[in-house]
């Protein structure tokens, strides 16, 4: 992952420098060129390591593909949080722009504390805390798998985690309904969220082995 941090704001030029202006050893996956203030903003919103890593990789890939063109980093971050913005390869003579839309970020950072006006919650990726915790465990126990798993998990759009959230509720319910128990059994066999990611939801005392073939599919 290649990141170049500037003190000056150069957002309009960053998309045109897929290698960050490097003359030698061009990174194969592109370079994220970012101003220090925006880097602090991203790190403040994306505090879990997996979130920050996946976003930085996406921004490098966007620069490599030359699209969409990003003029304000907050717009790119908001688009990634909302629907996992992906790089776009423009056709010849074509320019692809990123639409603006960072109202939630603006509201969060410009809020003025006052009685009766509680501070808004920080914008979030929508990934379940249990999944982020599991990625932290992978980082400690199987670091060789962490990079691919982090990218695969953070590529899942926020709404697509609904089935895992439901399965977690069913797994926690000791006296759940028949439907909940059935749902928990299915979740133990794996919930396939994408061709690159399957999530297994099991009780804490379940010691059965978890399938982990080398296709980025793991619990």
Predicted confidence at residue 192, as pLDDT, reads 85
Domain boundaries, the chain: 2-110, 129-199
Q: Which one, of 185, 192, 197, 188, lies nearest residue 138 by Cα?
A: 197
> Helix 178-188 vs helix 162-172: angle between axes, to the nearest 10 degrees?
120
Predicted confidence at residue 52, as pLDDT, reads 97
CA–CA gap between residue 27 and residue 64 (Å, rounded): 9
Q: Scanning the structure block, which residue is given the tokens 């066999």?
A: 189
Q: Three-class SS of residue 186?
A: helix
Predicted confidence at residue 168, as pLDDT, reads 82
CA–CA gap between residue 122 and residue 133 (Å, rounded): 19
pTM attached to this predicted model: 0.82
Predicted confidence at residue 54, as pLDDT, reads 96
- Largest distance between two CA atoms of the chain: 63
3-state helix, strand, coil in the chain (%, to 5): 45, 10, 45
Predicted confidence at residue 213, as pLDDT, reads 35
Average pLDDT by stretches of 10, the chain with 219 residues: 84 60 70 92 95 95 87 91 91 82 86 80 91 92 93 93 84 63 66 86 57 37
């Amino acid at each position: 992952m290649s990141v170049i941090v500037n003190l000056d704001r150069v957002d309009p030029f960053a998309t045109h420098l897929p290698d960050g202006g490097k003359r030698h050893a061009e990174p194969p996956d592109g370079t994220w060129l970012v101003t220090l203030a925006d880097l602090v903003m991203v790190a403040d919103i994306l505090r879990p390591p997996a979130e920050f890593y996946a976003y930085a990789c996406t921004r490098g890939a966007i620069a490599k593909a030359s699209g969409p063109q990003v003029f304000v980093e907050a717009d790119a971050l908001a688009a990634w949080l909302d629907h996992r913005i992906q790089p776009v390869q423009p056709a010849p003579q074509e320019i692809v722009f990123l639409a603006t839309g960072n109202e939630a970020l603006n509201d969060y950072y410009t809020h003025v504390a006052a009685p009766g006006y509680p501070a808004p919650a920080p914008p979030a990726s929508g990934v379940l805390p249990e999944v982020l915790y599991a990625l932290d465990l992978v980082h400690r126990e199987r670091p060789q798998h962490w990079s691919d798993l982090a990218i695969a998990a953070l590529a899942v759009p926020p709404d697509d985690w609904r089935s895992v959230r439901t399965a977690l509720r069913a797994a926690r319910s000791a006296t759940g309904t028949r439907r909940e128990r059935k749902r928990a059994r299915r979740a133990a066999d794996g919930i396939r969220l994408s061709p690159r990611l399957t999530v297994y939801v099991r009780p804490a005392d379940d010691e059965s082995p978890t399938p982990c073939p080398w296709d980025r599919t793991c619990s």
